[in-house]
Amino acid sequence: MSISPEKLASTKSAQSGLSDTLKRPIVFDGTATPVKTALFLIICVAWLFPGLIGHDPWKPDEAIAMGIVYSMLSENTLQAWLLPQIAGAAVNDYAPLYYWVSAVTAKLFSFVLPMHDGARLASGVFMAITLVYVYKSANKLFDERAGRIAVALFIGSLGLLLRAHEMNPELAGLAGMSVAIYGLTQIRFEARKGAVTAATGAFIIALSVGFVQAMIVPVAAIAMMAILHDWRNTAFRRGIGILVALFVSAATIYPAILAALGLWSTDMLDAIFGTPMFDVRGRASILPWYLTSILPWYALPTFPIAIWLWRKDRHVIRERIELALPIAVFVSSLIILSLLREGRDAVGLVLLLPLALASANSLDRLPKGVASFIDWFGLIFFGAFALAIWLHWSAAILGTPEAVARAVAQAAPGFEVSFNRVTFTIAALLTSVWLYAVVMAHRNNRRAIVNWAGGITLIWVLLNLLGLPAVDHVRTYRQPVSDVAVLVKQTPSCVVGLNIGEPQRAMFDYFQQLRFIAPNAKAAPSCDWMLTQGTKANAPEVSAEWTLRWEGARPAERVEQFRLYQRSPE
């Protein structure tokens, strides 16, 4: 079959045009071109999806979340869906929205994915919602040039990377806050529309991480009005009134349903409010200065950029909503979360949203020396990290350098490394795309952030494509759970559990449907088995009637140790 001269000429022209396009410098100036759009989408997709599938639930948060989702799907009762529980025992840490969505995604994708991978896709759903609303909020606050760079700033945050890809109810709260912030961008002049959107976000927060964190939304709205001295704005006042009314009404729906069904108990107050009200040990976990102490690294690169902007524009903050809104949300969030929620890095995820928006507003005005430092630091740090990943992977495959291969073997004892052509090709291709973007990008302030976001995305992709199987090998509870189940099933009987933590109970239930009896329960004397959780150096004390049958832990575990005892015959 011959090709006409006209078609051949057209093909050559298209190839020449593509070649010329790829050879041109990439100028990140906020305008859209096919190459920049493609790079933006590659970064977003490559950042969002890796890590959501391909590994077992890891402790602590993933194991607990998976235990709750498994209880919902296996028991399939109204009580299991409304009251989060692990292996029949109530868990009062979070309200149930995240677990509901996880259970739905696990069910929807059960034909192609293991239950835990399907459940983890809920995190991808909530993160996708968050990215969309960061984009929309930046465009609404500033202009159409701000959306993409705000997303790049957000996904470049160091503290977000690991948490964004695990099963964690805080991600639902993060998505809710992104929706609420978009509502706050409208509430000043579009009262009803903005209030409904903000209240929707607050409701998502309340049903995910509790009423206390949802309070940030109306508090931030009032703080924004105070900063702007906009008390006479009738639409603004009406919007805040609608927001508060809708928020209070929506926040009572879940408790009202529990009360109507006779499932209400004061134990649920901690989850409903999202703060330890009755748990003395939980109150001790509230560390007022924790979030402030981690922000300098947790919120890189946005934290120093936002602080620089707010200091530089401090005299005009009262005149501009694009300055007032991010600072109102940030300060309200920092105060409420620091004083009323436990000191954990995942709690601080919502702080990254206003910091990303504030940084997007100031990026073009950032001193070139600061932007150059961010640019080169990111290139050197992430480039060296990527090189180290490739070096360790190749050493594990080839056995050389021997010192590196030996270090990999010690880090993942018992793991058998194999070459996968598909993952290698994808990893090499994305590394090439990153190198192309670095070389071809025209040096300016926006390039620094795009390179940073691209670098952190490359690291995440390489870790998942080349290192995830080895990491999962040492972090999963699958093997020790299987070892215990094999022994117990040889002489079936109930098992007493001593000092078994929530994540571990969840994994024994999920992997082997093995549940434990409390040592002080009435049924405990009839059990022939006892499993204890202690450390390698110290085992929990047991009476002389118990004989040690097995002890073990996860590969490379340095502290935690399980011990299985069998009751000696009388």
383-421 pLDDT per residue, tens: 999 999 999 999 999 998 999 999 999 999 999 888 999
CB environment 194-215: b (16+ within 10 A), e (fewer): bbbbbbbbbbbbbbbbbbbbbb
SS3 for 112-143 is CCCHHHHHHHHHHHHHHHHHHHHHHHHHHHCC
* Higher pLDDT pick, 65 / 444: 65
Contacts of 368 by beta carbon, 8 Å cutoff, 6+ apart: 445
Which percentage of the chain shows pLDDT scores above 90? 72
Task: Quick: pLDDT tens for 162-171.
Answer: 999 999 999 9
Confidence of residue 144 (pLDDT cuts 50, 70, 90): confident
Task: Quick: pLDDT tens for 413-462.
Answer: 999 888 999 999 999 999 998 998 888 766 778 888 988 999 999 999 99
Confidence of residue 269 (pLDDT cuts 50, 70, 90): confident
Question: How is the chain split into domains, by residue range?
Answer: 126-363, 367-473, 478-567
Confidence of residue 7 (pLDDT cuts 50, 70, 90): low
User: Reduced to 3 states, what is the DSSP secondary structure of residue 259?
Assistant: helix
Region 294-303 average pLDDT: 96
Region of residue 231 (left: phi > 0; alpha: psi -120 to 50; beta: else):
alpha
Q: Are strands 89-90 and 85-86 parallel, antiparallel or unpaired?
A: antiparallel
Task: Quick: pLDDT tens for 22-41.
Answer: 556 565 556 667 777 888 89
Contacts of 263 by beta carbon, 8 Å cutoff, 6+ apart: 79, 82, 83
Task: Quick: pLDDT tens for 66-109.
Answer: 999 999 999 989 999 999 999 989 898 899 999 999 999 999 99
pTM over 0.85: yes
**131 pLDDT more than 60:** yes
Region 135-139 average pLDDT: 96
CA dihedral over 14, 20, 21, 23, signed as positive or negative:
positive
Q: How far, in Å, CA of 475 to CA of 434, rounded?
A: 30
Least confident of 2-6, 57-61, 245-249, 399-403: 2-6
Closest CA to 439 of 449, 451, 429: 451
Q: Are 272 and 255 in contact (CB under 8 A)?
A: yes
